[in-house]
A and B are shown apart, each in its own frame.
Chain A
Amino acid sequence: MNRYLVQRIGFIVLGVATFLVVVPILLVVGTIVVRGIGAISWEFLTAVPRNGMREGGIFPAIVGTLLLTLGTALAAIPVGVGGAIYLAEYARDTRLTRAIRLAIINLAGIPSVVYGLFGLGLFVLFLQFGTSILAGSLTLAIMTLPIIISTTEEALRTVPNEFRTVSASLGGTRWQGIRYIVLPQALPGIITGVILGLLRAAGETAPILFTVAAFYLPRLPHSPFDQTMALPYHLYVISTQVPGMPMEIQYGTALVLLALVLSMNIVATMIRSYFRRRRAW
């Protein structure tokens, strides 16, 4: 067979494969938008669910997800960014730092439901936080750490070494160089990484199953030791556990969750590309 014909066929096969990857993505997003948009109204977003969730809105689930994401951010950002500063600025290549890198890779690979078990064992039962926003946030925070650490480390490493040398030559200490020169330069990258980590936390269901999520709680939580509804768990509940659930509410909930996560994604991408273009070095 003519080798240019072979090339033609090869490229077509590759193109078809790519088509098979991309089209379902558009189909998923498109279906959920088209079928869910009808459910979206001011009432749907701001009312509590009624009649065993078959009517009313999803306000407590939205607030719950935002609170959990906030709690995750408060716990994960200091630890994650600090850990990344250690790896990028202080750590030498020793056995210990290799162990840290291995630990991060493993944290990234542990199944989300195992995080749920761990959160149940440590936070809910051992530390007696009960099923609460606190327990859920901390569980999600540990799950998000690897994403925040690896993206922050990458952001720190892209700052040229000359910046550190110049800071030192002016008599600055190592930490002053990091605090006033390196961190501000790496900030857009760090923010991007943090958002990417948090959007994973916002969409996860398995880690919150036994640590915080309430099946049906038509009011807002009062304290960090309260249970709360959350969007991903709510979607799971209304699509599998409640018989006779109107399709429109199910698709509407899926759409709100998808929109929340994808808009965070877009913001992260925009920050990254904006600062990459503006960067002077």
Chain B
Amino acid sequence: MHESSRVRWSEFAIEAIIRVLGFSTIGFVLLIFLFLLREGMPVFFEVSPDNLFGTRWYPTFGLFGTLPLILGSALVTVTAIVIALPLGVATAVFVREVAPGWAREVLKPTIEVLAGIPSVVLGFFGMTIIAPLVREVLGAPTGLTAFTGAIILAYMALPTIISVAEDALDAVPKSYRDASLAMGATRWQTIWRVVVPAAKSGIVTAIMLGMGRAIGETMAVMMVTGNAARMPLTLDSLFRPARTMTATIAAEMGEVAQGSVHYHALFGIGIILFVLTFLINVAAASTMFKQRERGGLR
């Protein structure tokens, strides 16, 4: 009798602990947002809105225009996706639909290696190898440009894009392919007209997740984009230095006095980043949930 009541009690305690651990994830997200607000909100009272959304970021002169940083992030991210998306989807299709078994066995782990390379190592490689190349080939005065950053970012987003796109292709039932082939279509026609369109929503998810990763990437971007907070509005902006939101935080937080306007402004950029990635992830998650609710294609 004693024995069983002790078992029941410890059972209860353990279940309670596990429940709390499960719920703690929500707590962490709230806690992160709370602390960003706590340290970042003051900037909205200390700095006037037209300064805050102005075009000049010179914190030492009291100019906190975040526009060049937001546009810098957008320029680098969009360019990275433009490079990574066709490459990633084509690679996923090749690995899943075209490549023979042995090639798949070689290609998949190689792509996984890319996901494991630390961002600072890719940034270092970008600085020492790619930037000089960009300078020579494009004749830019410096190789540290938005474009250099976008190349590195594209390769950082590729593993995500490839694996999500591959999952989407995997979910297309074999009967679709068989039906198409039975109609006399070639394998290429089957891939291009049947399989890829059927996997479209998964591919959209891949783009969103890749984008979320690209916006948030910090070290590599900071090391190769040249970090000039200028408005990227001219046509050659891509081949000039740019500065992103993440790089601004990483580069400046170390030298800033705690509690100063500049300190609050950097946390304010953190709030913008948090909200942006939150929205992107919710959008990506909801398309994933929707797919699953429809029973996917399985």
Residue positions of A touching B, CB distance < 8 A? 3-4, 6-7, 10-11, 13-15, 17-18, 20-22, 24-26, 28-29, 31-32, 78-79, 82-83, 85-87, 90-91, 96-97, 99-118, 120-122, 125-126, 142, 145-146, 149, 173-175, 199, 202-206, 209-210, 232-233, 235-236, 239-240, 247, 250, 254, 257-258, 261-262, 265, 269
Is the pair A90, B107 in contact by a Cβ cutoff of 8 Å? Answer: no
The reply to whether B186 and A114 contact each other, CB–CB distance below 8 Å, is no
Docked pose: A240 CA to B222 CA in angstroms = 10
Q: What are 30 A-B interface contacts by the 8 Å CB criterion?
A: A10-B188, A14-B94, A21-B111, A83-B24, A85-B21, A90-B15, A96-B23, A103-B25, A103-B26, A106-B282, A109-B278, A111-B246, A113-B250, A113-B270, A113-B273, A114-B36, A114-B249, A117-B270, A118-B35, A120-B253, A125-B258, A205-B218, A205-B219, A206-B218, A239-B127, A250-B124, A258-B117, A262-B113, A265-B112, A269-B112
CB of B258 within 8 A of CB of A209, answer no
**Those of B80-94 within 8 Å (CB) of chain A:** 86-88, 90-91, 93-94
Nearest A residue to B93, CB-CB: A14
> A22-B111, A106-B281 given as contacts; is B121 within 8 A of A32 (CB)?
yes
Given known contacts A25-B110, A114-B273, A173-B8, what 20 new A-B pairs fall within 8 Å (CB)? Answer: A4-B186, A17-B94, A21-B87, A24-B155, A79-B24, A86-B22, A103-B28, A105-B282, A107-B25, A108-B281, A111-B273, A111-B277, A112-B216, A113-B216, A175-B11, A209-B250, A209-B253, A209-B254, A254-B124, A261-B117
Which residue of B has the minimal Cβ distance to A238? B124
Q: Which residues of B contact A112 (CB under 8 A)?
A: 119, 216-218
A116 to B215, CA, bound (A): 16
Distance (whole angstroms) from the CB of A29 to the closest CB of chain B: 7
Chain A residue nearest to B31 (CB atoms) is A122
A246 to chain B, nearest CB (A): 13
Q: Does B169 contact A (CB under 8 A)?
A: no
Interface of A is mostly: helix
A66 to chain B, nearest CB (A): 15
Question: Main secondary structure on chain B at its contact with chain A?
Answer: helix
CB pair B111 A90 closer than 8 Å: no
CB within 8 Å for A117 and B266 given contacts A110-B32, A210-B254, A254-B124: yes
Contacts of B250 in A (CB 8 A): 113, 116, 206, 209
Q: Does B44 contact A (CB under 8 A)?
A: no
Given A7-B187, A105-B281, A232-B118, verify A142-B95 contact (CB < 8 Å). Answer: no
- Which chain A residue lies CB-closest to B115? A265
B254 touches A91 (CB 8 A): no
Kindly state whether residue B212 has any CB partner on chain A within 8 Å: yes
Q: A111-B218, A173-B11 are in contact. Are A29 and B39 (CB under 8 A)?
A: no
| Contact between chains at A118 and B36 (CB < 8 Å) | yes
Q: Which residue in B23, B91, B124 is a CB contact (below 8 Å) of A18? A: B91
Judge whether B110 and A22 touch: CB under 8 Å. Answer: yes
- Nearest residue (CB) in A for B113 is A25
Q: Shortest distance in angstroms between A254's beta carbon and chain B's nearest beta carbon? A: 5
B18 touches A100 (CB 8 A): no
Which B residues touch A204, using CB under 8 A? 118-119
Closest beta carbon of chain A to B173's beta carbon, Å: 22
A203 engages B118 (CB within 8 Å)? yes
Q: Which of A4, A78, A107 contacts B29 (CB 8 A)?
A: A107
Check B181 for interface membership: any CB of A closer than 8 A.
no
Q: Separation in Å of the A85 CB from the closest CB of chain B?
A: 5
Scan B201-226; emit 1 where CB is below 8 A from any A CB, else 0: 00000000100110111110001000
